[in-house]
Amino acid sequence: MEEPQEPHPDRWWAQFPAASDRFDAAYLVEGFGDLLTRRIGSPLLRQEAKVACGVVVRYLNRPHSPELESWAKSSADRLRKTLDRFAEHSTSNYSIEDAEALSLALHGRYAEAAAAAEPLVGTKPLLRLFVTALRLEYFDIRLVLRLIGGGQPPEQAIRSGFLMGKYGWWPSWLVRVVTERALAGTLDDEMIAALDRCAYAALTPFQARLARRLLDGETDLIATAAQRLEGLGEHDAAVRLREGDLTAVALAARLVPL
């Protein structure tokens, strides 16, 4: 049983479609249908919701079909009108909240639909649905869910998940660094550039441990490494390392075995 969470506003859910130009609306709407239609108490309303959902999903899978577009719009509008009639009859024994949320999704209002559905079906199934619908290549879905569960905003978590997937070939020690930085919310472009250089530097296990400590900002070690870089004639690298330029870490680790 999912623990209750504070519902998220629609602007929070809107970060997901905005994060990917490959966002799979058909998958999302079909997922909304799976989560919501079975909860609709009225058999008549449930059947109409199923039909409308199927038609809209079919159109979203073939968005260049004018005929399907017209059919999808008519089906979604018909469901909306049925809901309005249900709302007029306040004596109805059936709740229409689930159908209302689905109607929003069928009209392309995905963030609003999620905000309406979250109190009904919980956060986790909706979150997995939205993250999967991103359809990003080289994407670590589990990390994204973990980051969002830890309180990171979707935009930041999605970026970390993309980077983790993209650089998944890195050595295991670097992958651990990326994961730790992502969880701490400190994974930025500078850090990625530094880690990428370390990945290509073919460091020995000892040098890898040294690089990790340098990345962690150990002051005494940085000072010692900079001095030894100067002794090897790498004055520019020594200056960059002292100034906190993480891209110098790979060179320091490779050339300065302590």
- What three-state secondary structure class fits 2? coil
DSSP 170-214: S-HHHHHHHHHHHHHT---HHHHHHHHHHHHTT--HHHHHHHHHH
Q: Is 54 part of any domain? A: yes
Same domain assignment for residues 125 and 199: no
Q: Tell me what pLDDT residue 91 has.
A: 55
Q: What pLDDT score does 194 carry?
A: 79
216 SS3 class: coil
250 part of a folded domain = yes
Q: Which two tokens stand for residue 142?
A: 């589990």
Tell me which of 81, 101, 135 is where a domain ends.
Answer: 135
How many domains does the chain contain in total?
2
Specify whether 190 is located in the same domain as 117.
no
CA separation, residue 24 to residues 20, 95, 111, 188 (Å): 9, 29, 14, 27
The pLDDT value given to residue 140: 82
| Cα(221)–Cα(208) distance, integer angstroms | 14
> In terms of domains, do 174 and 114 share one?
no
pLDDT under 70 in the chain at which residues?
1-5, 90-93, 256-258
Domain limits for position 167: 158-255
Is 173 a domain residue? yes
Chain segment 179-234, per-residue pLDDT in tens: 888 888 888 777 788 778 777 777 788 888 888 888 888 888 888 888 888 888 88
Cα 157-159-161 angle, rounded to 5 deg: 70
Q: What values do phi and psi take at 7, rounded to 5?
A: -65, 150
Q: 169 and 67, same structural domain?
A: no
| pTM for this model (two decimals) | 0.74
Residue 51 and residue 18 share a domain:
yes
Give the C-alpha separation, 208 to 198, whole Å.
Answer: 8
Residue 151 lies in a domain: no
